[in-house]
A and B are shown apart, each in its own frame.
Chain A
């Protein structure tokens, strides 16, 4: 376990963010469990289409987007908001004022996600990837986000004097980018949709942005904070951090249109997407060297720190996923593998391997400090880690290998379409089983999180009773 030593000035900072951050984390863990469950169910339906096929809300076309939205907006975004608030307070050594508003925002955000998932299952989906929620629900999410973002930026402005750490750059950037990203996409595609002819590039830009301009920066901020913090050493190089940050900021926004190679957009847009995806190699390799290089010589720390273990897997997945994204953007690969499970595999590695693993690491670091007590169970944390690494790894390998066969079949006019389904099928079965393993892993995560919170609650109750007696 990580050591718990808290000077009293830090206690005030921790206490000020405790409630909103714990609400975000608690909801996030519940969404993760629901998302992996729905994901496993959707994956099973690709093998046995007759499985639970009666009612409308259980049809694949509703379950699959519900799973993705639960994971992106419910799990990853809630966790990211909690991590951003805690880390900005901690980095700036500033207590959060008027915490009741971020608490209300946390509740609104999760209520919005709940309504959105119900709307998708109930047949009110807008069917634009990651913008499926009806307009009034995305307005709720936008409003809730703005409150958290303002509080985050205020924390940053009121920070104690001193150098601004690299994590703060990423957090401030993410908090500023997401509202612009989400507002533009909703305004132009949902609230007041533009002509269908202009929708494809905006939708592709948004898909790229929600990972690369919102979740990835928070995950990187957390990795940049945690690795040196746990090992008690500096990052490999400050200059590499600067180069990594700015090159990522410049290229990430353009990378989404790599989804439209050969699509209904002017050719230069797809080319810009390809070029940006390949140029992302620069920040990815630089940041990878910076993060993983800091680990060098201290691998034994991976044994005793679950946070470090999760974060190291996240940092490695970051490098692999973005290198894969750059390769898949190249027209020769893209022609064969676009539309196949290979692209699902890359998105999966980004969302689960990189973003989620970094967030697990951060939550395992933050919660004991917020509650001033150790985790309820170390063995459950280990189980969670291995179920996600083995389950997620297996799912990724299967999506990739099955997807390659599927992709070659899809792009060969001599092969019947049905064969592409047949080739992918055995791999999809293993993917479904791996998702079930990850569902169990998410139960371990939720279990250890909630039991630790309950333990802290009981302790507070008994101590307050002791005071009254």
Chain B
């Protein structure tokens, strides 16, 4: 191992093999995946994101939501991710590469300090935008015992002048609820984040991810 060119060549080759397989190959194959168009219904999978939801991705990234929340559903033969969400209709399925086509960046994640959010928009308890805002503003008022950080910095606490805003958060309780004569309204960042969270619905059909039996 005293021959410099051989050493350098070996070092280069060892790295290049993994680089070709795990970087160049996915760029060429997965990088050119296109949305699927259903010829009968004209539906596009994955569906287009609204401008609000695209802006919301940036807020999701800026606040490091992915530090605690994954967006990855593993297949039923491997783990119980699918049977965790029995209420979803149509049924939740494994996430595949095409599901992240419109994500920038793809928030796959590697931690579940909080629950997986791949299908947050399908959850029954998320009925309205107001529910999401209440959860972001004061998580423990919605879910006692939750360790989610309160994102009160995404909301404005202000005195009501004239009529209360029709955007103001309703049903707030606890120490951070507005005093009489005051209201809490979402900032632009909070509005787009909520729009993004509501858009998280990965239950459109994809041929590469057939619906599986959960049992």
* Residues of chain A at the chain B interface (Cβ within 8 Å): 45-47, 49-50, 53-56, 59-62, 64-65, 120, 123-129, 132, 157, 163-164, 169, 172-173, 176-177, 180-181, 184, 188-189, 193-205, 207, 213, 242, 245-246, 249-250, 253-254, 256-257, 259-266, 269, 272, 331, 335-336, 338-340, 343-344, 410-413, 417-418, 420-422, 425
Contact = CB atoms under 8 A, between A and B. Distances in A.
Given A193-B105, A339-B112, A253 B30 contact: no
B80 A411 contact: yes
Given A49-B149, A197-B30, A197-B31, A59 B112 contact: no
A127 B145 CA distance: 26
Contact of B74 (A177, A184, A335): A335
16 contacts: A49-B147, A53-B150, A60-B149, A61-B66, A127-B66, A197-B98, A197-B99, A198-B33, A200-B106, A201-B22, A201-B26, A262-B74, A262-B78, A264-B108, A343-B111, A422-B145
A123 B10 contact: no
Chain A interface, DSSP helix/strand/loop, else mixed: helix
Listed residue (B21, B103, B105) with the most chain A CB atoms within 10 angstroms of its CB: B105
Contact of A205 (B22, B84, B86, B146): B22
Contacts of B94: 262
Contact of B27 (A60, A180, A194, A421): A194
Interface string B1-39: 110100110111011011101110011011111000000
- Range, interface on chain B: 35 or more
A335 B64 contact: no
A65 B60 CA distance: 14
A123 B75 CA distance: 34
Given A338-B110, A410-B112, A54 B152 contact: yes
A424 B103 CA distance: 31
A199 B105 contact: yes
Contact of A200 (B11, B67, B97, B115): B97
Interface of B: 1-2, 4, 7-8, 10-12, 14-15, 17-19, 21-23, 26-27, 29-33, 60-68, 70, 72, 74-75, 78-80, 83-84, 86, 94-113, 115-116, 139-140, 143, 145-154
Contact of B72 (A56, A264, A411): A264
Contacts of B104: 193, 196
Interface SS majority for chain B: loop
Contacts of A411: 79-80
A339 B11 contact: no
Contacts of A265: 26, 30, 97
Residue among A172, A193, A194 having the largest count of chain B Cβ atoms under 10 Å:
A194
Contacts of A59: 63-64, 149, 151, 153
